[in-house]
Amino acid sequence: MDIERLIAEGECSLGIELGSTRIKGILITPDTKPVASGSFDWENRNEGGVWIYTLDDILTGIHDCYQSLKADVKEKYGIKLTKLKNMGVSAMMHGYMAFDKSGNLLTPFRTWRNTMTAAESEELSELFSYPIPQRWTISHLLKDIKEEKEYLGNLDHVMTLAAYVHYLLTGEKKIGIGDASGMFPIDFSTSDYSEKAISLFEEKYLKGHYTWGIRDIFPEVLIAGDNAGYLTSEGARLLDDELETGAAFCPPEGDAETGMTATDSVRERTGNVSAGTSAFVMAILEKPLSKVYPVLDIVATPDGKPAAMAHSNNCTGSYDGWMRIFREVVERLGLDVPKGKLYDTVLLSSLEADKDAGGMLSYGYISGEHITGFEEGRPLTARTPESRFSLPNLMLSELYSALSAMRIGLDILFDEESVQLDFITGHGGFFKTKESGAHAMAAALRTPCRVMETAGEGGAWGIAILASYLDHANFSLPDYLDEYAFSDSSSYMYTATDEERKGYDKYLERYKKGLAIERAAIDNLEE
């Protein structure tokens, strides 16, 4: 391909994903191959007990991410990026963003990380006979309705982060079905919000109190292949003064759905694990679950098929903290070790560990963890005098801990619903060192783990592929992925040994018993 010509003529597609710690942009050619990237690092913060990002954070982040990508294009190809064929936006799922008619944010943006809606989650799950996690938009809306928040009288629209950025760039209040399935229950027969659930909610909580209903304030639901608008002049200026208008947009999606796309995991009997700051496993269902399980979300693939999701709020944050300590030691010794080499060296040591992590125990609970019942978190490492305290065992304990809350949720699918998966595909920061990530995951999830060579591209690549799919919607999405994105892909597959699976099961038993230690830390270590 003549990449320079494709870029200059505006034949490429751009995907931007707003993750928990990084905003990333990926530019791809019409055959979905990444040719340039950009990024912007950011971090949520806890203000008044609420995990937030500000609107300024969002605007600065998408602008600087695009500028980073534009600079990468210039450096690699010697040309200026001024025109795009298609675009797409994705972001971490769930959360709550409420606006008035003028676009003013009425209450701080609550991210997925907040665990403040336990009562509402339980109440709605019972009302709908449908699992409604604390993170979902409707849980936050109900909390504020019950508390009679004054701003609700001025409420005009409610969005997820992806839908909000899409609105900034296109002026359209649209959302992909996958991201929408983290706002409100979906009727998979209509690929839209459930009318039954809307009626139940409005009759019980809204009647006679507000002038708006759910469809008035929530964005319109679309599926993969639908056109969701075009880049406006106002939207283009948010990214770059030289960017031309008119790029077509795919529906904005959540990171769960871009994870499915980026791992070719949208067919039945496929699954994927997205593991970074948080971790979640997706299983594309062959049939509906037999009943409601509070720790399992029911979400949608980008083309509207049901998937079960076990989500844990914490994953790599704890061992990232250890890596900062190790880097400080290295720097104090006057050594210059690249970040990638440090991570690879330390994480690969886990392959030398005792299969049960030598009696070590870790909880990477930087925030609360709903699966195990914690509203707050205290990261900690515990051991007995007899534990084999070594770098390999410490890192394996951290890797296993990062997966254990998620595994507790996944056991329901495997043991009670007999869900069958041929293998699980991993992506996200947990798999940057693919051997350590795949070995730990295969042992923890009792399923062969595949890591694609493109795993590092992540959700930004996934949403770029969905943007490019606008030009190929005559294919089904699974066929398009097989035909275009993954026709020549290579991957690393690992199946855990019996010894590794038994070792992890021993660790998990220790993890469950040790939850009392985490509770004691929360009760006695004040933030």
Say which residue the tokens 């109440």 belong to: 123
Measured distance CA(135)–CA(111) in Å, rounded: 8
Q: Tell me the two tokens of residue 476.
A: 């089904």
Q: How does residue 456 score in pLDDT terms, banded at 50, 70 and 90? A: low
Q: Tell me the two tokens of residue 358.
A: 């030598």
Q: Answer yes or no: pTM beyond 0.75.
A: yes
Question: What pLDDT is attached to residue 94?
Answer: 87
Measured distance CA(336)–CA(320) in Å, rounded: 18
Check if the beta carbon of residue 411 is closer than 8 Å to that of residue 515. Answer: no
Check if the beta carbon of residue 367 is closer than 8 Å to that of residue 376. Answer: yes
Q: How does residue 514 score in pLDDT terms, banded at 50, 70 and 90? A: very high
pLDDT exceeds 80 at position 217: yes
Phi, psi for 272 (deg, rounded to 5): -145, 155
Measured distance CA(463)–CA(486) in Å, rounded: 15
Measured distance CA(206)–CA(365) in Å, rounded: 36
Sign of CA dihedral 194, 195, 196, 202: positive
pLDDT exceeds 90 at position 413: no
In 10 A of CB 145, how many CB atoms? 17
Phi, psi for 163 (deg, rounded to 5): -65, -35
For the stretch 501-513, pLDDT in tens is: 999 999 999 999 9
- Looking at the DSSP bridge assignments, the partners of residue 38 are 25
Higher pLDDT, 276 or 25: 25
| Residues 66-99 as b or e (16 or more Cβ within 10 Å = b) | bebbbebbeeebeeebebbbbbbbbbbbbbbbbb
Measured distance CA(321)–CA(342) in Å, rounded: 13
Q: Tell me the two tokens of residue 219.
A: 């964005």
- Looking at the DSSP bridge assignments, the partners of residue 310 are 281, 296
- The CB-side HSE value for 243 (13 A sphere, CA atoms) comes to 25
pLDDT exceeds 90 at position 165: yes
In 10 A of CB 386, how many CB atoms? 8
First to last CA, the chain: 55
pLDDT exceeds 70 at position 455: no
Go through the domains of the chain in sequence order and give each one's CATH number.
317-453+490-524 (3.30.420.40)
Q: Tell me the two tokens of residue 283.
A: 């299983």
- According to DSSP, residue 172 is labeled -
Of 30-34, 391-395, 421-425, highest mean pLDDT: 391-395
| Residues 175-188 as b or e (16 or more Cβ within 10 Å = b) | bbbbbbbbbbbbeb
The arithmetic mean of pLDDT across residues 165-180, rounded, is 98
For helices 391-411 and 339-348, what crossing angle results, to 10°?
80
522-to-47, 114, 365 alpha-carbon distances in Å: 19, 16, 10
Q: Tell me the two tokens of residue 124.
A: 């709605």
Q: Tell me the two tokens of residue 30.
A: 């019409």
pLDDT exceeds 90 at position 281: no
Q: Residue 322 is inside which H or E element, if any? A: helix 317-332
For the stretch 440-450, pLDDT in tens is: 999 999 999 99
Work out the angle at residue 366's Cα, subtended by the Cα atoms of residues 365 and 369, and round it to the nearest 5 degrees: 45
Phi, psi for 420 (deg, rounded to 5): -110, 130
In 10 A of CB 348, how many CB atoms? 15
312-to-52, 309, 410 alpha-carbon distances in Å: 18, 10, 11
Measured distance CA(54)–CA(105) in Å, rounded: 9
Question: What pLDDT is attached to residue 275?
Answer: 85
**Antiparallel, parallel or unpaired: β 86-91 and 13-18:** parallel
Check if the beta carbon of residue 263 is closer than 8 Å to that of residue 438. Answer: no
With residues binned 3-state (H G I as helix, E B as strand, rest as coil), the percentages for the chain, rounded to 5, are: 45, 20, 35
pLDDT exceeds 70 at position 1: no
Q: Residue 368 is inside which H or E element, if any? A: none
For the stretch 42-58, pLDDT in tens is: 988 888 888 899 999 99
Measured distance CA(94)–CA(96) in Å, rounded: 7
Q: Write down the mean pLDDT value for the chain.
A: 94
In 10 A of CB 437, how many CB atoms? 29
SS3 at position 342: helix
Lowest mean pLDDT among 75-79, 164-168, 426-430, 458-462: 426-430
Q: Tell me the two tokens of residue 266.
A: 């949208």
Q: How does residue 290 score in pLDDT terms, banded at 50, 70 and 90? A: confident
Nearest to 283 by CA among 188, 439, 411, 134: 411
Question: What pLDDT is attached to residue 17?
Answer: 97
